[in-house]
Amino acid sequence: MVEQILLSPPHMSGTEQKYINEAFETNWITTLGSNVTAFEKDLADYDQIKYALTTNSGTAALHLALLALGVQSGDQVFCQSFTFIASANPVNYIGAQLTFIDSEPESWNMSPQALDRALHDAQKKQQLPKAIIVVHLFGQSADMEALINVADSYDVPIIEDAAESLGAQYHGQPSGTYGEIGFHSFNGNKMITTGGGGCMVTDNEEYHERALHLATQAKEARNYYYHTQQGYNYRMSNIAAGIGRGQLQMLDHYVDRCCNIFTTYQTALSRIPGIAFQPELPNSRGTRWLTTLTLRDQDPWVIMKHLQHYKIESRALWKPLHQQPLFKGVPFYAHHTNQDVSGDLFTHGLCLPSGSSMTTNQQQRVIDVLNQCLR
């Protein structure tokens, strides 16, 4: 029997069990406990930021970030189009209005040019957004310097969707810490996992306290249950945080491994005509959470089917949100007139198996099957 090679499975080190056992031994398994406190401190230290608030999903962390910034029903929010739908869903939860922004070829992330045009138009209509959601796709940083310059000129705060980029750096600074608020995901397929979970990070005490209040059902500080606003059950459990503590200790090793996997793919496949790998901006270091590429001379859907035949999981790149039926009619600003970068990337893109637990033999099997098909 040929074993299946998965795209990005969880990578357990064994250290996690120590902290899980502590939660059981103290009988503290719910949404408070020493693991939660320690994990939040470790995350804040790793990101070199003041506050980290763990949640039960990355989506919850984004929802809290929007609420912390005061986004309300009817407000405008700009969001990168080339991303997973969870980057936009919390905007709908609130009842705010979306505008989608295209990607740039240099990073595959938000286009500063498209953002500038969208903000210019919004200012003329006196409808500037309350927030801009910038995504760091596949572990690669967006051009935060350019994007912040544009956003600051209109005095609009940025939320960094660093769900896929914990461990990445841009100009020597951790991913998710350039904007007013950032957040990470600890889903099962991410660089580290808590089995499902997330984290909001910020240097702003007011945003942190507001999000913490809302994440715990917005309970007021009284000796009985008293509520003045709607809250949410968004906190991470002590068991999940225990898994995260063990995982975070391995993060740098996992990033190094994924970067080595990417380099091996690039060396083995880059001479094949029509192949181009996701670029990395100067003065940045991505995690290569997934090795992603475009195929100009081949049909990626045919390649995916061929890999599947050999029990190798692959995946298309994200279908842009402005092309999703759910968001039909939502405004979209392309990188340049008649140049839909994100749509083009979806048409030609492919994700290869890239998990940090991938063995050398497994990767060579993927390369051999790709060479067989592509050549």
- 2 pLDDT band, cuts 50/70/90, is confident
Name the percent of the chain lying above pLDDT 90: 94
Closest CA to 236 of 85, 22, 86, 34: 34
Task: Provide the whole-model pTM.
Answer: 0.95
Specify the DSSP class assigned to residue 181. E
- The mean of the pLDDT values for the chain is 96
Q: What is the pLDDT of residue 338?
A: 86
Marked catalytic residue, from 125, 130, 190, 305: 190
Q: Is 190 part of the annotated catalytic residue set?
A: yes
CA neighbor of 181 nearest in space, from 150, 159, 196? 159
Q: Are 304 and 373 in contact (CB under 8 A)?
A: no
Residues 307-327: tens digit of each pLDDT? 999 999 999 999 999 999 999
Each residue's pLDDT tens digit, 196-244: 999 999 999 999 999 999 999 999 888 889 899 999 999 999 999 999 9
374 pLDDT tier (thresholds 50, 70, 90)? confident
Q: Which domains, from first to last, does the chain contain? A: 16-248 (3.40.640.10), 251-374 (3.90.1150.10)
CA pair distance 279, 119, nearest whole angstrom: 26
Instruction: Report yes or no: 97 and 130 within 8 Å, Cβ to Cβ.
Output: no
Alpha-carbon distance of 242 to 15, in angstroms, equals: 9
| CA–CA separation, 79 and 101 (whole Å) | 6
Residue 31: pLDDT band with limits 50, 70, 90: confident
